[in-house]
Amino acid sequence: MKSNYSATGLKRWSSKPKQIPDPQVIKSLHVYDFDNTLFCSPLPNPQIWYLGTISFLQTPEAMTFGGWWHDPSILAATGEGIDKEEPKAWAGHWNETVVELVKCSMQDPDALTVLLTGRSDTQFADLINRICNAKQLDFDLVVLKPEIGPTGEQYSSTMAFKQAFLHDLVFTYKTADDIKIYEDRPKHVKAFRDYFDKLNKSFLSHPVDQPAPPRKPINCEVIHVCELRSALDPKAEIEVTQKAIERHNQAVANGGPIPYKCSKKRLRIEENYLYFAYLINETDSARLISLTNVLGHLIDSGEVKYLASSILIAPYKPGRDLVQKVGGRGKKVMWQVNGISKLEDRIWAARVVPVDPNDPVHTQDQTPVVVLAIRRGSRPIEASRIQNWQPVSPDKAFMFQTTVGDKVMLKIEEVGDGNIGPRTGDRNRRRVDGDGGYKRKFGDDGDLRYNKENWPKPGGERDDPNAGPKISSIIATIPMCLGMQGLLEVVNSNMVVEERA
């Protein structure tokens, strides 16, 4: 433990050139997390990427220049991009409740106001200060994770870094009576509470024959802020990811430097066809999910996942006859819920019927159903086993519109040595989207839905590159679409990185 703490020493943590208050006048410390506590930072879109790819994207070793949380170009792409968002202070991308709390902290002469984030100081200090300045949020300290701490420390994790800073903070401001920390991640909320419980106990259990503790115990309140969820525009998300892959591939082609543990092979975005269905938009999906009575802790733990994304037509690329039978891709069909049920507390589903009985509909199951939620280890196809349907009250007999379309998701793959070959049959690549958790929870049906092992497969091969739509078809499931052709051009252009002279 350091023997001397000072405002000058504490200021070395901050990326903001501002004089901080005298430690003797501060009575309260207010610490705010940035990502998805104060600011709606974009998260990888589970309607675009496989679960494993989302996990891969968020690791520091994903690519040469880092992953989703380590590449400033991704945060800079929020909304319409930094050039358009900065003049309007990133309107619509804030937790305004927390913004008001920050402003109250700023106006309190007894409070020190701190922004604390695990993003890299080297990569993000300028951008995060610009974002906060545009909103006129004047923090006393803006603290990002340094490569090396003020006294030469290196940190094994974000929490280790944050605890090191908080230690210096409370020992510098010894007269502060309380500290409030605003955080969205449950694990971090618990870690902060445990840290201050242990710290305060060390003060109270101090041996009487030793010098007095450097400060008295501090009242700690960790406020769990409901996490914010937002995503980039789908076209922008794929474009910024593709550019990150291109930078990685260029580094590989040039021989490095490539960080330890980072893939030393080229990467590419690969598409994978899942199924043909009546696709449900996000607004109606949320309404349908409200019909379930799944306990909250099952969702929070990941034991149960919400779906409510489609009414299955076929778990394979459809032939021309089937497409015509349902009215063609893009056909709109109105449905109404007329029953709900569950199977062994594992699968929750809604039974639906077309509002217009003359609409030409066709579904995989004899009874059209929307799988609302599913327990880990179960499969959506098991919803066909439900026999006992409960009628719904008029207020729950929702009507909703669907669009006939294809569910296609993207993954990132490694490519073997040499130029990137044909997409079909390339044996030199391996998938990097294996199992794994990721920072934020999303319902994702890419790893749960129907596949050729579970279903008979009439028609052409699923791997036939000439059958069915390309990557652009995923836009059908996302309300903020920008056009299929543009998305195709983003993903399919510059897939091989040219070596620069």
Residue 439: per-residue pLDDT: 41
C-alpha dihedral, 378 to 380 to 384 to 387, nearest 10°: 60
Query: Which range has the worst mean pLDDT, 258-272, 367-381, 475-489?
Result: 475-489
Whole-number pLDDT of residue 24: 92
**Is residue 467 predicted with pLDDT exceeding 70?**
no
Domain boundaries, the chain: 7-42+77-224, 234-456+467-492
For residue 3, the model assigns a pLDDT of: 61
pLDDT recorded at residue 125:
96
Q: 10 Å Cβ neighbour count for 148?
A: 10
Residue with tokens 């870690």: 191
Residue 257 burial (10 A CB sphere; 0-12, 13-18, 19+): exposed
**Of 494, 330, 317, 332, which is closest to residue 420 (Cα–Cα)?**
494
Question: Among 131, 136, 103, 100, which residue's Cα sits nearest to residue 117?
Answer: 131
Closest among 383, 463, 440 to 49, alpha carbons compared: 440
Q: Average model confidence (pLDDT) for the chain?
A: 82
Statement: residue 444 has pLDDT above 90: no
Angle, to 10 degrees, between the axis of helix 234-253 and the axis of helix 484-492? 10
Question: Tell me, what's the pLDDT at 261?
Answer: 75
pLDDT at 213: 79
Mean pLDDT check: name the lowest of 158-167, 173-182, 296-305, 385-394: 296-305
Average pLDDT estimate for 83-98? 96
- pTM comes to 0.74
- At 485, the pLDDT band (50, 70, 90 cuts) reads very low
* pLDDT the model gives residue 64: 86
CATH number assigned to the domain covering 7-42+77-224: 3.40.50.1000
Give the pLDDT of residue 66: 86
- Alpha-carbon distance 43 to 56, whole Å? 13
- 323: pLDDT strictly greater than 90: yes
